[in-house]
Structures are given as structure tokens and as C-alpha cells.
């Protein structure tokens, strides 16, 4: 029954558990730990399903005279595990290529239309009245983009908060965090797919960038920038400051990190990663290998 139990754990971590956590707001109180928790859930789900496939393969080799119905069930579990891994690597390639192409095109466009700022070669100013502020992360050619309308509308401290926010995205490579969740989401068949980890992580990277900005300018300047730029749109492949304005403003009233939220998120991360492997997969695989070798 180990392959079936691992498969059920993988399904639970892929659907009902994320659906339950998506309703909770406490991960926002410790966004770094919250992101690790979501990553652990997604990885644990794939590992459980993969473990189900591996243990199924070992079962098919080691079991003597199994019934046709049990063989059919185990073959189905094995196929699901293979499908998940195949989809994961295909998604990793396609998302990386698509996102990289979009960012390269945007970077070429802003370099053509934008004016370099003498204070930083990575900053481009677009001469336009629309309120625009976003970044195009990259290992060597990142860009921070703002419009002249944004500069005119914001005060000096508010503009510093915006630039600190976007540079935090670039410096911490929050884009790689979100791309990882896109890989993991696309790995599952549509019937097992949920948007909750990616959606919450998009919010939490904004909170992390807010925390970096508030350390530079304080809460008041950041709040003013969030209100002014609320709803502003960033192009595909970019990361903007205009999303989830209400939630972010409410969070500015609380301390950036709550110890209990951090502890809970780390506890969940460790349990979901270690638990299935230690208590189910490892003993069964060791027993199956003994049977095969013996």
C-alpha cells in the first residue's frame, strides 16, 4: 500500500492542502518563511508522487504472482509519477525560454525609448504621463523602469521607496522564485493543478520588497507610493509595484515579521518534506531492495 499512500499524500499536498492554506493570511506576516513553506509543499507533492512511482516500479519487480487488479493500479500510479516529472522539465524549459524572450524584448524597448539616469545605469526613465514603475530582472542586464509621470507625481522619499522596492526584486532575484512556482504548477496534470502557491507567492515577494523599501525610507513614504501607483500595470515578464495595494497598506501597520508565523511556516515545511520520506518511502524501498537483491 506504500505507493498508494504516497500517491494520496501527493494529491493531498497538490490540491486540498494548498486550497486550505490559500484562505489563511498569517503567511503574509512572515513572507520569506511563507515562500519556503509553499516551495516545500510543492516539492513534497512532487516527491511523494515520484516516490509512489518509484515504489511502484520496485513493487512490480519484487512482488511474486500479483493479482491483475493490483498490477493495473500500480502501473497507473507509476505512469502518473513519470508524467509529473516529464511535465516538470518541459515546463521548466518552456517557461524559462518564454519569460527570457519577453524580458529581452522589453529591455531592448526601454533601452531604445528610455533615458539613462546618471545615478544608476540600470535605471531607465520613460517620457510618458502614465504612472509606470517596474523592473526587468536579469543576472547581468537588469533594468528598473519609471515614467516621467511617476517622477512628477511622487515626492522625493516616495520615489526612493519605489526604486528601493524594485531594486529589492532585482537584487533578491524574486523572479526566479516565481518562475520556480510556475514550473511546479505546470508539472501537474490539469486535474491536480492549483494556482494558490503561485498566487500567494506573488504577493509575498511584493511584501519582501516592501520590507526592503521601508528600511530605506520608512513606512509613510512607502505607503504614499503604494497609494499613488495602486493598479498600475507592468508588462509581461516584469515585476511592478502596483499590485495588492490594500493588503500591503494594511500590513504596514504591523511589524514586518511575526515569530509565530515564521515558526509555523518552518514547521510545516520540515514536516511535509521529511515526513513522507522517513515514515513511508525509505522503509518500504529498503525492504523492496532487500527482496530484489536477495
Q: How far is CA 127 from CA 71, 164, 204, 233, in A?
A: 66, 21, 31, 16
Question: pLDDT per position in the chain (294 positions), as tens?
Answer: 667 777 788 888 888 888 888 888 888 888 999 999 998 888 888 888 777 777 776 666 666 666 777 777 667 767 777 777 787 788 888 888 888 888 889 888 888 888 887 666 689 999 989 999 999 988 888 899 999 999 999 999 999 999 999 999 999 999 989 988 888 777 777 777 788 888 899 999 999 999 999 999 999 999 999 999 998 888 887 888 888 888 899 888 876 667 888 898 999 898 888 877 676 666 666 665 665 565
pLDDT of residue 214: 93
Domain assignments of the chain as residue spans, ordered by start:
2-293
Q: Which three cell numbers stand for residue 208?
A: 519582501
Tell me, what's the pLDDT at 281?
A: 61
Which residues are within 8 A (CB) of 274 and not within 5 positions of it... i.e. 6 or more apart?
A: none
Grid cell digits, residue 279 = 515514515
Output the pLDDT for position 151: 94
* Residue 253 backbone phi and psi in degrees, to 5: -80, -10
pTM for the complete prediction? 0.82
- Provide the pLDDT for residue 286: 65
Q: What is the model's pLDDT at position 7?
A: 76
Strands 143-147 and 120-126: parallel
| Three cell numbers written together for 125 | 526613465
Sheet containing 143-147, strands listed edge to edge, beginning at the edge strand earlier in sequence: 115-117, 120-126, 143-147, 133-136, 239-240
Per-residue pLDDT, 282: 64
> What is the pLDDT at residue 169?
94
Amino acid at each position: 500500500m506504500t505507493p498508494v499512500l504516497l500517491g494520496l499524500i501527493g494529491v493531498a499536498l497538490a490540491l486540498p492542502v494548498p486550497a486550505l492554506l490559500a484562505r489563511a493570511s498569517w503567511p503574509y506576516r512572515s513572507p520569506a518563511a511563507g515562500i519556503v513553506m509553499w516551495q516545500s509543499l510543492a516539492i513534497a507533492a512532487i516527491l511523494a508522487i515520484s516516490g509512489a512511482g518509484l515504489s511502484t516500479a520496485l513493487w512490480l519487480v519484487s512482488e511474486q504472482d500479483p493479482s491483475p487488479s493490483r498490477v493495473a493500479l500500480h502501473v497507473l500510479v507509476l505512469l502518473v509519477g513519470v508524467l509529473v516529472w516529464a511535465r516538470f522539465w518541459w515546463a521548466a524549459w518552456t517557461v524559462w525560454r518564454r519569460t527570457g524572450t519577453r524580458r529581452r524584448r522589453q529591455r531592448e524597448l526601454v533601452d531604445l525609448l528610455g533615458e539613462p539616469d546618471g545615478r544608476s545605469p540600470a535605471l531607465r526613465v520613460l517620457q510618458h504621463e502614465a504612472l509606470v514603475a517596474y523592473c526587468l530582472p536579469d543576472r547581468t542586464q537588469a533594468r528598473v523602469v519609471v515614467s516621467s509621470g511617476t517622477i512628477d507625481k511622487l515626492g522625493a522619499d516616495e520615489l526612493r521607496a519605489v526604486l528601493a522596492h524594485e531594486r529589492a526584486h532585482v537584487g533578491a532575484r524574486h523572479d526566479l522564485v516565481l518562475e520556480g512556482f510556475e514550473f511546479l504548477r505546470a508539472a501537474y496534470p490539469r486535474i491536480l493543478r492549483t494556482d494558490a502557491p503561485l498566487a500567494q507567492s506573488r504577493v509575498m515577494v511584493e511584501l519582501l520588497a516592501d520590507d526592503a523599501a521601508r528600511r530605506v525610507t520608512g513606512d509613510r513614504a512607502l505607503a504614499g507610493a503604494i497609494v499613488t501607483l495602486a493598479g498600475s500595470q507592468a508588462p509581461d515578464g516584469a515585476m511592478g509595484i502596483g499590485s495588492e495595494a490594500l493588503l500591503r497598506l494594511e500590513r504596514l501597520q504591523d511589524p514586518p515579521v511575526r515569530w509565530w508565523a515564521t515558526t509555523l511556516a518552518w514547521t510545516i515545511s520540515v514536516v511535509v518534506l521529511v515526513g513522507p520520506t522517513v515514515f513511508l518511502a525509505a522503509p518500504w524501498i529498503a525492504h523492496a531492495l532487500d527482496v530484489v537483491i536477495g
